[in-house]
Structure 1
């Protein structure tokens, strides 16, 4: 059976590459577009529940635009869902990524001017020019020190996760305003240029090799419905509902509280 989360089909259309594998009234190639808002919810149905979130600059394929809702598939991880059509822009071509926990986009190239948007770690924007200490983008002026080119990647997943310490836990969240366990893991790996699915069960199936030796920095611990990054041989870092935040936790305490891991993976 196909996975609803990554199969681009609804009651009216399906992605053309699914022809012969699913039934649908019409098969379409879709059109490329980009998220032009700081963060948007990716919903299971129009106006429904949040499955995941997409950050500014996220590339999607739009298979249907109906009554103000677009049926899309994320280029990052293949996740399928609905976003408000007004949140998308076909002309965006992100060039730079936010590398700080968060930043602001200002009306002018001046930190005392009005702030227009708050942007999360991992959001991507087209930079039109750099004016001194500020980059001019469609969302406003962003401090250039908070940006790096999209084709530049980091090497330390734990250092990235640590930037989000204290971020509130949010089911399906993918931003510095709220994030869940798999969102944190995906963020840490994406900014290192490493492919990573969206949900913890998908991550367990796709990432790394199973190991049974002592935990090492960067390993992944999986439990049913939960995932954590090994920060060092004694601690994990994870977004969790116990602390309702991204936090460090001693491995010993986590094992006593949650139970034994179902998988210990190493990239």
Structure 2
């Protein structure tokens, strides 16, 4: 059986119970629910390996296997699988109430903007808010964040979310305001609006229906690359060409990418809004 390791919750020695009778492994497990407790964690293809993606603070995962200081997990957000440092995880999972909607925010030790920040969080971080104090939200995990940077309901326009990340540095496998790649930008924009979205561009292309006419919010694909249409003529994408999130005319991008030998243009897909 051919499997895609990125979305198959199994290592060579153990698989999630859902794969019994589908994928043969020496052991099976129900997995252990855990949560990311650091601002940002790299999801690796193997312990001490290469970063495939990143997971934000508050992300829920299922731990399937362990090796020394590493845990093999499947993320709840998109089913992506990989290795995280065990130290990045906690068994404490208070009820999530809010998400960070600003590109980034700071966590303070008190409801006081003059206090030295504890750490920063990026767009998409999931929070358990227990109350408010002086314009700050108190977190069950400790600390306070400005209420202007969080919300308890999904956003409504993925393009506006993507545009809030204009200028963000390009980072292969990145999923945050500190660095993001093409598929990370698309996923951040769609999931902020409660629209399910896989983590990599090929998975995204396979996930959504093809259309023939470009409209705002559509996804534009090339081999190994994805962009989001701002309009029928302009797109936004995280590109190694400029090492940043930029706007670019769609016709110019198609011609430029073809000239660089990175084409052809693979077409248009339309993300599905939640019902």
Paired residues of 1:168 and 1:178 also in contact (CA < 8 A): yes
Instruction: Give a deviation string over 1:206-241, Cα, whole Å, max 9, x none.
Output: 11x22223x211111100000000011221000011
Distance 1:220 1:21 in 2: 33
Pairing partner for 1:142 from 112, 120, 145: 145
Paired residues of 1:204 and 1:263 also in contact (CA < 8 A): no
1:140 Cα deviation (Å)? 1.7
Deviation beyond 2 Å, 4+ runs, structure 1: none
Q: What TM-score results when the alignment is normalised by the length of structure 1?
A: 0.95
1:244 corresponds in structure 2 to: 243
What is the Cα-based RMSD across aligned positions, in Å? Answer: 1.1
1:62 corresponds in structure 2 to: 63
1:118 corresponds in structure 2 to: 120
Distance 1:117 1:2 in 2: 38
2:269 corresponds in structure 1 to: 265
Q: Residues 67-78 of structure 1 correspond to what in structure 2 (within 5 A)?
A: 67-78=68-79
Report the number of matched residues: 263
Moved more, 31-40 or 65-74: 65-74
Gaps in structure 1 of 5+ consecutive residues: none
Instruction: Give a deviation string over 1:140-174, Cα, whole Å, max 9, x none.
Output: 2111121112xx11111100000100000000000
Distance 1:17 1:81 in 2: 17
Q: Secondary structure of the residue that 2:118 maps to in structure 1?
A: strand
Given the alignment of the two structures, is residue 7 of structure 1 paired with residue 11 of structure 2, yes or no? no
Paired residues of 2:74 and 2:82 also in contact (CA < 8 A): yes
1:23 Cα deviation (Å)? 2.2
Moved more, 251-260 or 163-172: 251-260
Distance 1:64 1:128 in 2: 33
Instruction: Give a deviation string over 1:18-67, Cα, whole Å, max 9, x none.
Output: 11222222100001111011100000111111000000011101112331
